[in-house]
Amino acid sequence: MTQQSNADKPLNAGATQDYRGEGGELHQVAGGDVPQMTTQGGAPIGDDQNTLKVGPRGPTLIEDQAFREKIFHFDHERIPERVVHARGFGVHGVFETYESLSDITRADMFQRAGEQTEMFVRFSTVAGNKGSADLARDVRGFACRFYSKEGNWDLVGNNIPVFFIQDAIKFPDLIHAAKQEPDRGFPQAQTAHDNFWDFMSLTPEAMHMALWIMSDRTIPRSFRFMEGFGVHTFRMINAEGKSTYVKFHWKPKQGLQSVVWNEALKLNGADPDFHRRDLWDAIQMGDYPEWELGLQLFDDEFADRFDFDVLDATKIIPEEEVPIRVVGKMTLNRVVDNFFQETEQVAFQTGNIVPGIDFTNDPLLQGRNFSYLDTQLKRLGGPNFTHIPVNAPRTEVRHFQQDGHMSMRNPKGRANYEPNSWGGAAGGPREAPRGMYQSFPAEEAGQKRRIRSETFADHYSQARQFYLSQTQTEQQHIADAFAFELSKVETVAIRARIVSHLLNVDEDLAKTVAKSLRLKEMPAPAEAAMPTRMDLKTSPKLSIILNGPESFKGRKVGVLVTDGVDAALLAGLKSAIQAEGAMMEIVAPMVGGVEASDGSWIEAKQKVDGGPSLLYDAVAVLASKDGASTLTKEATARDFVTDAFAHCKFIAYSAEAMPLFEKAGVAGDLDEGCVKLASAEDAKGFIVQCRKLRHWQREPNVNAV
Ligand code: HDD
């Protein structure tokens, strides 16, 4: 092989000694601080470009172990994706305990104020496959692992506090109905199809959840802006063995925010990775998202007098009834080093609890405790998945379980059973009753039967409470979502059956949906297991809009600029955005950037057709006169404006940009949510307005059907 100079050296060429081989192929040879490539067996590799052949054109030799090993490994790279929650995004974080909870739980991580506990959190969608898009209308998984000093505690929750079904035996049916229809293999990552709504319409217990999934909770703007819930009622047990019921809540310090449905539809095309990119960017930038952990604590006396069964996962306990006690804070502060290694291989289990935390008899939770352990065996291929670093507890593990596929840590020494006579270190670990995990000694008795408790029978009262707790805008979104989803259901009888349930929730909602579907006649209300529906007090905490942020912090403004953009105006806008803790992203006709009015060069992040206004919480169009005239001829620039307007975003613009608004057909409709910028002061005012996130008053004018 001959040493040659490479005019077109790769970016990192400085660290390597490159040469081209006989066939002209590039070799990067170890040297300096660049380590040498090896086989799995550790043997050094000198040529990773060519298989071993007999002569330059001859057959490839099967003895080429380096080649065979490389292809063999590649062929086996995939593991089964999760049967649900396949598409997820995991990050590391830390939990800080605010105060000792020793009166309530003996869980070690809650004993000391200021205690820091390492965490791993994986957000996910439920129905879509691993490669589906982030903005599917779907529940978001909110799975949290605490690596506590007394073992891993997994709080495997969702961003919605209730669930579709009451008993785990229905889970496979629910998921089969939600995922692709089995004969055709579509639709992907959406519930807008016959099978899903057929199942829902035949499952009245799902009606509360139906309202939640048709709300904007299922199209969050960011993982950072959604709540998390443990869903079930759990127990906390203190050192004296006293049990307190608990429901877990995660409250984002960033405030709640969702997108609108038309925006979600388009975002899935514009950036299928919208949510993961958002979290990745925020953490990489040092803008670490935070959630406070809240507990709803209650006793048997409350459980007995509450209108619903606390073991029923289709019900909430309103915060107004049992206030939330904030006990700590989670900060997500580190992205993974490797997606597969950590996010894909993390094996959450509801069964992973620690002393001081216990289950209740919620039949959904009881079933989950079997499913999660079982599924990891299938996914990760053997019983030793707890040896993988992301799954290994941070405490020392001592037991006599051994062997199996991919065992990394078998017990040392002679003893692999107990009791044994070896004593000392040779005898291995022993039980120690003090500090052991102790299940709450609940008294259980009853007939062995397949049965559902009568106390689970009210399927509509809380659905109604949820609906009536929403703002008018949100109620309209719920009606629109039902109409959209059911419009994709081809069987008219299924559409009508859902409306028959909605009649039991709220007559106006049912009528609006029926009208949007143009149902020829109104069905009779569905027969209810419990005929009396309660009118419960509304709970403002259930609204997203009423629980938004106080500032525009962590949000993003997209600024469409052209050559000749007013440099002072742009600088004023930038400093107003930065002062708020928000981000600015420049969109330009060409990604290389633009030349501003003062001759300075403004780098762009997006080319206009790759940076639609969908990507931003608010937008500005700062064009020069000539620039605006060019933009009028660019469809994607017109879309930038019309979409922002239709999605009720706050819009700022320079006077010169007006021709684009005219051409986009919105110049005559500009409202108080559209702000003309003539000075840095105007920019400050614009950002203050943006704190409201969306100009909802515009919606009736842009959403007439
Ligand atoms: Fe589940 C995954 C949340 C009911 C069976 N579930 C999974 C994940 C989340 C939830 C967040 C993803 C974990 C990760 O990121 O790896 N699941 C819930 C919630 C439920 C719920 C909040 C109701 C309150 N799940 C549920 C039932 C069953 C399962 C009733 C079965 C009886 N869930 C599974 C599973 C998965 C899973 C099949 C798939 C992959 C995995 O566990 O690790 O075992």
Starting at the edge strand found earlier in the chain, the sheet holding 674-676 runs 606-607, 583-588, 556-561, 618-622, 650-653, 674-676
Q: Which three-class secondary structure state does DSSP give residue 587?
A: strand
Q: Is the ipTM of this complex over 0.85?
A: yes
Helix H or strand E encompassing 207: helix 207-213
Per-residue pLDDT reduced to its tens digit, 524-540: 999 998 888 899 999 99
Q: Where are the domains of the chain?
A: 88-387, 550-702
Give the Å distance between the CA of 163 and the centre of ligand 1. 11
Q: Which residues share a beta bridge with 295?
A: 248, 325
Query: Residue 698, annotated ligand binder?
Result: no
pLDDT(28) > 50? yes
pLDDT(436) > 90? no
Helix H or strand E encompassing 639: helix 635-646
Query: Residue 368, annotated ligand binder?
Result: yes
Q: Ligand 1, closest atom to CA 367?
A: 32
pLDDT(1) > 50? no
Alpha helices in 319-471, H assignment, sequence order = 363-380, 461-468
**313 in contact with ligand 1, CB cutoff 6 A:** yes
Confidence band of 2 (pLDDT split at 50, 70, 90): very low
Burial (CB < 10 A; 0-12, 13-18, 19+), residue 519, is middle
Given the structure tokens 């539809």, which residue do they identify?
A: 265
Test site for ligand 1: of 92, 348, 366, 369, most ligand atoms within 8 A of the Cβ = 348
The protein residue whose alpha carbon is closest to atom 19 in ligand 1 is 157
Q: Are 650 and 690 in contact (CB under 8 A)?
A: yes
Helix axes 567-579, 680-690, angle to 10 degrees: 40
Helix H or strand E encompassing 568: helix 567-579
What percentage of the chain exceeds 90 in pLDDT?
Answer: 91
User: Which superfamily does CATH assign the domain made up of 88-387 to?
Assistant: Catalase core domain (2.40.180.10)
Q: What predicted TM-score, i.e. pTM, was given to this entire model?
A: 0.96
Catalytic annotation, residues: 85, 158
Per-residue pLDDT reduced to its tens digit, 87-105: 999 999 999 999 999 999 9
Per-residue pLDDT reduced to its tens digit, 245-296: 999 999 999 999 999 999 999 999 999 999 999 999 999 999 999 999 999 9
**143 in contact with ligand 1, CB cutoff 6 A:** yes
**What is the 3 state secondary structure string of 138-174?**
CCEEEEEEEEECCEEEEEEEECCCCCCCCCHHHHHHH
DSSP letter (8 states) at residue 122: E
| Cα end-to-end distance, the chain, whole Å | 71
Q: Which fold has domain 550-702?
A: Rossmann fold (3.40.50)
Per-residue pLDDT reduced to its tens digit, 540-554: 999 999 999 999 999
Calpha distance 312→454 (Å, rounded): 11
Per-residue pLDDT reduced to its tens digit, 458-483: 999 999 999 999 999 999 999 999 99
Q: Which residues share a beta bridge with 247?
A: 296
Per-residue pLDDT reduced to its tens digit, 545-578: 999 999 999 999 999 999 999 999 999 999 999 9
Test site for ligand 1: of 144, 371, 373, most ligand atoms within 8 A of the Cβ = 371
Pairing verdict, β 606-607 and 601-602: unpaired
Q: What is the pLDDT at residue 435?
A: 76
Calpha distance 345→355 (Å, rounded): 25
Helix axes 171-178, 194-201, angle to 10 degrees: 140
Q: What is the pLDDT at residue 15?
A: 54
How confident is the prediction for the chain on average, in pLDDT?
95
pLDDT(12) > 70? no
Helix axes 472-487, 507-517, angle to 10 degrees: 40
